[in-house]
């Protein structure tokens, strides 16, 4: 039985990745390590928490002693590393926690994995999940991000993720650590914390609150349904070449304002609002400081070499996402009111 450490598994993408691995590979033991910061929510994994091949451990990836003991306890074969501080706006107001978790945390995992695998005769892998934001910002209508696009991160978040990617490559180059990295575009779907654009706006529409559009709403993002990201992680984990980087994206670029108008239209249709109701909530606000203009991934390499392509069209993915939030209002309410943290307080410590 392979024992795999997945970090950040109580978060958005991590919970989809944990679910996919636990259900698709009963022969793997999956250990989900998560600190349960504000972004970690064990309700995201309620449907699989009693599976025999699933274990949850609460802890901090930057805590060397804890991570050392965890590796001794489980003797992990591989790591899929998703734990991070992930929200750009928070990185602008509180950058140091991003440095600690994203940089020191990744270095701590690499260091302990290297020590643990020193005399290993098994096939080990350290898979680092990263973001397209490390490449910086593109011109409107211009070129794409390729795997060899030079790094040019602009925010404390993207700089901390870029640093972590460099550390992973350094461990590969210097210590021969078997690593693989993927850089993905914007994800959307169920269980995304309502601080990110799509779930925040769904929540605000339902609560009839303003929809705060940064600047003129002309920034472009490339959107991918989260389950397609988890499937890409599965493919890269099993078939990716050691030392390689893979870009993951949806070839699905939207200006924020066009996306928001589509979202308003789809929610109005779903909850039988008169046409145009939700658009009236759109409110232009001061732009995000240093706001990256455009991200767009070229995902040819993963398609040609590993056969992965997104399975969902955006229109369908967005409808599925809206349906999920409408069917899970209690999840949204628990998260927005903070009671999701009380729920596990007895069992687990919260930040
Ligand atoms: P998220 O914020 O929803 O989840 C992050 C998880 O990490 C949470 O469960 C949190 O409790 C945990 N965590 C934070 N600090 C920790 C620490 N010190 N020790 C242990 N656990 C800790 O993030 P997400 O959106 O699911 O992103 C997951 C990963 O994917 C991140 O590495 C992110 O950079 C990357 N990524 C995200 C996107 C996106 O669109 N959301 C796109 C590309 C890449
Ligand atoms: O590209 C991948 C990245 O996508 C991930 O690495 C990050 O973890 C993830 O948070 C995401 O970053 P963005 O900054 O692109 O996502 P966010 O949902 O915060 O914002 C999307 C766009 O919408 C961006 O141009 C800012 C804008 N926006 C966002 C919010 C929260 C608004 O106009 N108003 C808002 O209230």
3-187+224-251+294-312: what fold? Rossmann fold (3.40.50)
pLDDT digits (tens, 9 = 90+) for 145-204: 999 999 999 999 999 999 999 999 999 999 999 999 999 999 999 999 999 999 999 999
Distance 40 CA to ligand 1 centre (A): 8
> How high is the mean pLDDT of the chain?
96
**pLDDT band at residue 36 using 50, 70 and 90 as cut-offs:** very high
Give the separation between CA 182 and CA 308, rounded to whole angstroms: 13
81: Cβ below 6 Å to ligand 1?
no
Distance 52 CA to ligand 2 centre (A): 36
Contacts of 148 (CB under 8 A, 6+ apart): none
222: Cβ below 6 Å to ligand 1?
no
What is the Cα gyration radius of the chain?
A: 20
43: Cβ below 6 Å to ligand 1?
no
> What would the two tokens of residue 173 be?
């180059």
Give the separation between CA 336 and CA 333, rounded to whole angstroms: 5
> What would the two tokens of residue 186 be?
């914007």
pLDDT digits (tens, 9 = 90+) for 100-124: 999 999 999 999 999 999 988 889 9
In three-state secondary structure terms, 136 is: coil
pLDDT digits (tens, 9 = 90+) for 55-103: 999 999 999 999 999 999 999 999 999 999 999 999 999 999 999 999 9
165: Cβ below 6 Å to ligand 1?
no
Residue 294 DSSP one-character state? B
175-187 CB burial, b ≥16 within 10 A, e <16: eebbbbbbbbbbb
> Is residue 325 among the annotated active site residues?
no
CB 282 within 8 A of CB 260: yes
Residue 282 burial (CB count, 10 A): 16
41: Cβ below 6 Å to ligand 1?
no
Residue 38, pLDDT score: 95
> Is residue 246 among the annotated active site residues?
no
Residue 311, pLDDT score: 97
> Is residue 268 among the annotated active site residues?
no
Whole-model pTM: value is 0.98
Catalytic annotation, pick one of 157, 191, 295, 340: 157
Distance 85 CA to ligand 1 centre (A): 6
The answer, yes or no, to whether residue 137 has pLDDT greater than 60, is: yes
12: Cβ below 6 Å to ligand 1?
yes
Candidate from 191, 256, 291, 295 with most ligand 2 atoms within 8 A of CB, to mutate = 256
Q: Whose CA is nearest to atom 15 of ligand 1?
A: 84
Domain boundaries, the chain: 3-187+224-251+294-312
Residue 55 DSSP one-character state? E
Candidate from 193, 288, 296 with most ligand 2 atoms within 8 A of CB, to mutate = 288
Closest ligand to the CA of 297: 2
């Amino acid at each position: 039985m392979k024992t795999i450490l997945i970090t950040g598994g109580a978060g958005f993408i991590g919970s989809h990745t944990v679910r996919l691995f636990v259900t698709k590979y009963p022969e793997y033991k999956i250990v989900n390590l998560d600190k349960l910061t504000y972004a970690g929510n064990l309700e995201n994994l309620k449907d699989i928490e009693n599976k025999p091949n699933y274990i949850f451990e609460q802890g901090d990836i930057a805590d060397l002693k804890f991570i050392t003991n965890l590796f001794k306890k489980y003797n992990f074969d591989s790591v899929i590393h998703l734990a991070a501080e992930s929200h750009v706006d928070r990185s602008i107001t509180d950058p140091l926690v991003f440095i600690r978790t994203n940089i020191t945390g990744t270095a701590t995992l690499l260091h302990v994995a290297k020590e643990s695998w020193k005399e290993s005769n098994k096939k080990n892998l350290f898979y680092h999940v990263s973001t397209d934001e490390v490449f910086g910002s593109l011109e409107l209508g211009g070129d794409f991000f390729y795997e060899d696009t030079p790094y040019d991160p602009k925010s404390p978040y993207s700089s901390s993720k870029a640093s972590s990617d460099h550390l992973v490559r350094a461990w590969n180059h210097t210590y021969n650590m078997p690593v693989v990295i993927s850089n993905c575009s914007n994800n959307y779907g169920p269980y995304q914390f309502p601080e990110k654009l799509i779930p925040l706006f769904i929540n605000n529409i339902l609560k009839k609150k303003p929809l705060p559009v940064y600047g003129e709403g002309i920034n472009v993002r490339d959107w991918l349904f989260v389950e397609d990201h988890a499937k890409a992680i599965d493919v890269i984990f099993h078939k990716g070449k050691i030392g390689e980087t893979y870009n993951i994206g949806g070839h699905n670029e939207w200006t924020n304002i066009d996306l928001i108008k589509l979202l308003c239209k789809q929610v109005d249709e779903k909850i039988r609002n008169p046409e145009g109701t939700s658009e009236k909530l759109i409110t232009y606000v001061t732009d995000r400081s240093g706001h990256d203009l455009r991200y767009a991934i070229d995902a040819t390499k993963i398609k040609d070499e590993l056969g992965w392509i997104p399975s969902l069209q955006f229109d369908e993915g967005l409808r599925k996402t809206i349906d999920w939030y409408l069917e899970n209002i209690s999840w949204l309410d628990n998260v927005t009111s903070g009671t999701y943290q009380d729920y596990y307080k007895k069992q687990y410590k919260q930040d």
